[in-house]
Amino acid sequence: MIRALLIAAAILAPVQAVAQAARDNLPVPRFVSLRSEEVNLRTGPGVRYPVEWVFVRRQMPVEIVQEFENWRRVRDREGTEGWVHQSMLTGRRTAVVLGDSGTLVELKRRAEAAAPGLARVEAGVIANLIECQGDWCRVEAGGFRGWLERTHIWGVYAQETLK
């Protein structure tokens, strides 16, 4: 009898996780950001799994690629994947400016290639996403608000619209 209950529980656990995600109406995959300066990336969904990596950048965008109960399998911009507890994530949207170290990307006053520049943002900077339309995203970085071409950032999907 106990064995049958354990087998039933093992079969139903993934179904319950899928039901929870469906109840929340949150798509997978989706982008979120790290809530803390230090977030443990585990090999599996639970504290019994070893820590494989530690993220050390608060507000860094990550992509949720899988869910299981209160655990989220995430991927960073370099492709590193692992499990984190949902409490270490926030729905606040951020993006990382792409490019080689030392590369500067021009933040524009308007969502146009010919628009005047407002500031230059260094590759690796984390910017707050405000909105995205077409090929451009409005961001806030270093106290400046302006537009970056979507191809210069990681943390938003190619066809995603944010308002």
Residue-wise pLDDT tens digits, 106-160? 999 999 999 999 999 999 999 999 999 999 999 999 999 999 999 999 999 999 9
Mean pLDDT to the nearest integer, 17-27? 59
Instruction: 110-116: list long-range contacts, CB under 8 Å, 24+ apart.
Output: 110/147, 111/135, 111/136, 111/138, 111/147, 112/147, 113/149, 115/147
If one counts the domains in the chain, the total is 2
Q: Are residues 47 and 115 in the same domain?
A: no
What global pTM score does this model have?
0.84
How large is the C-alpha radius of gyration of the chain? 19
Question: In this predicted structure, what is the pLDDT of residue 25?
Answer: 81
Residue 12 confidence class, pLDDT cut points 50, 70, 90: very low
Share of the chain above pLDDT 70, in %: 85
Both 136 and 64 in one domain: the answer is no
Cα separation, 41 vs 73, in Å, equals 9
Q: Do 111 and 123 touch, CB atoms closer than 8 A? A: no
Last residue of a domain, one of 47, 63, 92: 92
